[in-house]
Amino acid sequence: MQLLKCPFCGNRDQSEFTYVREVAPVPSLQADQAAWQTYVYERDNPRGPHNEWWHHHLGCRQILEIVRDTMTHEIISVQTARKGAIQS
């Protein structure tokens, strides 16, 4: 079991989350087919820390940006993918 610290819900089991994809700029709606094909199908396969989007589907239902080490599966950081979502 691995715990992820959701900024909205606190520590939660990894089973509450669903992997979405690596963090990448989303093409505009007017982008050509090649740009969308690259976004949808081409992925990096890094060794070490990697930025990923995860969905907290059994909790707050937010999309989170998680930095995870692909070698050790260590969670380095968790933050909301929506900038400005958490107000202090």
| Tally of domains in the chain | 1
> Is the pLDDT at 88 greater than 80, yes or no?
no
- Whether residue 43 lies inside any domain: the answer is yes
Q: What global pTM score does this model have?
A: 0.83
- Whether residue 87 lies inside any domain: the answer is no
* Sign, Cα dihedral of 45, 50, 52, 54: positive
- Whether residue 59 lies inside any domain: the answer is yes
CATH code of residue 71: 3.30.2270.10
- Whether residue 21 lies inside any domain: the answer is yes
- Whether residue 66 lies inside any domain: the answer is yes
pLDDT tens column, 45-85: 889 999 999 999 999 999 999 999 999 999 999 999 977 55
pLDDT tens column, 10-19: 999 999 999 9
How far is Cα 4 from Cα 11, in angstroms, rounded to an integer? 6
Domain extent for 26 = 3-80
